[in-house]
Amino acid sequence: MAVSWTTAGQAAQFAANVATVVALVYAAITLNNSSNDAKIASSVKVLEQGNKIEADYRDGKAEAREIVAFYYQVFLYRRMDRLVDDVYVPVNRSLCKFMTSDPRAKEYWARDSAQYDPKFVEFVNKQPDPKLC
């Protein structure tokens, strides 16, 4: 049985379409893996920065404004979906307790909160009682 040029062309077009779909699926999987890797890298960075700034604050080497700036960074990373939940949740809880119970943080926030993004200000101002963080 002879195959016409039209049938051969249709078969080739179908094969090209399938190859395109396979390539797009592969690219999506690769991109998703890269995105997850970036999220994990950002999360590790946040943990390292958080541990350092907490130790510095405890030792008197950091000011409340530095902790608030770190909290703002965490807030932005979360808003951009760059943190894994396993890191964000405990970091946010710790920072919530800091913002709601540390006298220096409260003083700084009352004085300088207007310099931050209004969405961050709203987020911080909605933090619950320190016992609920």
Convert the pLDDT of each residue in 46-73 to its tens digit: 999 999 999 999 999 999 999 999 999 9
For residues 71 and 68, give the distance between their C-alpha atoms in angstroms, rounded to a whole number: 5
The 8-class DSSP code of residue 126 comes to T
Which pLDDT belongs to residue 14? 55
Which pLDDT belongs to residue 22? 43
Dihedral angle computed from the Cα positions of residues 108, 109, 113 and 118, in that order, rounded to the nearest 10 degrees: 160
Q: Decide if pLDDT at 120 tops 90.
A: yes
Which pLDDT belongs to residue 36? 85
C-alpha distances out from residue 65 to 26, 57, 122, 133, Å: 45, 10, 17, 20
